[in-house]
Structure 1
């Protein structure tokens, strides 16, 4: 049906599902410090046609929080993101593209956060106004700012 566009088997470009997780009052985002990119980022994964399910599952796995819910079933942001060449689990991964489908989720900021050491080194709630100070990926700052602007201008 989709060939290999949903998995990393496609070494040129594949679809990833991302979660921009906000607290109840929409002032903070739940971010993880990814080991590979050495940057603060949202949780994201690939490999399943149910992209909202993948986003939910990955947030739970990468952050430890379990009380999350979609704010909206619709896609929040659709972007094409460059991924630099890197080594993962001892294997070189060539530069490629992520066709990023992002959803807005709400999480409980009072839950205990858990690091997933094979993927990240830290997890924390970051105030919207500080995200640009944490992220060192300029292309991601543009996306986070776009998403935050959407949240602040709407009633979601």
Structure 2
């Protein structure tokens, strides 16, 4: 599937998504390297919001850099299969091998600010993640594995308690939006 057309076809659910979609498309138009971290201003990332079959829990990781419970995801790094990236990152970051999309459609578009930080001994300047997110499903009985270089915990969290675990107000809003969409399915 053409990743740009997928973003163009996405139907925003609110003003935030409408504005973020416009900015993402603007960046795609203006930057040739938007799929890579070579673009130090903004680049495409793909995330997975992972739920169990009952849709009452979310599988989250305790992110080392942000020091909070968060969804899984990663940089496109030149790849165009954004759903594939979301699934692969979810598998790598949780240890769960059988993770499937609930739908192949985008569940959320967000422009996320990343503060300057140190990663693997190198300083990374503040920049934007142009986040394309998908709703994924996993079996909560599957074993969980910590990925030491990225997270210090992996666990199922009751979907209505995510705010108690996430200490990032801007991400709490993203999670609320996705939880609302999940409950509507």
State the TM-score, normalized to the length of structure 1: 0.96
Superposed CA RMSD in Å reads: 1.2
In the alignment, which residue of structure 2 is the partner of 1:123?
Answer: 154
1:34 matched to 2:63: yes
| Residue 53 of structure 1 pairs with residue 84 of structure 2 | yes
Q: Decide which of 43, 47, 51 is 1:18's aligned counterpart.
A: 47
Larger proportion of helix: 2
Q: Tell me, in whole angstroms, the C-alpha distance in 1 between the residues paired with 2:179 and 2:63.
A: 21
The match for 1:72 is 103
CA distance in 1, matches of 2:95, 2:166: 21
Mark the runs of 5 or more structure 2 residues left unpaired by the alignment. Answer: 1-27
| Superposed displacement of residue 140, structure 1 | 0.1
Q: 1:88 aligns with which of 119, 123, 136?
A: 119
**Cα distance, 1:70 vs structure 2:** 0.6
Q: For this pair of structures, how many residues does the alignment match?
A: 154
TM-score, structure 2 length as denominator? 0.81
Give the whole-Å Cα distance in 2 for the aligned partners of 1:43 and 1:10.
22
Q: Which residue in 1 is equivalent to 2:12?
A: none
Q: What's 1:102 paired with?
A: 133
- Structure number with bigger Rg: 2
2: CA distance, partners of 1:146 / 1:123? 22
Name the structure 2 match of 1:113: 144
What runs of 5+ residues in structure 1 fail to find an aligned partner? none
Runs of 4+ in structure 1 deviating by more than 3 angstroms, as ranges, are: none
- What is the deviation of 1:130? 1.0
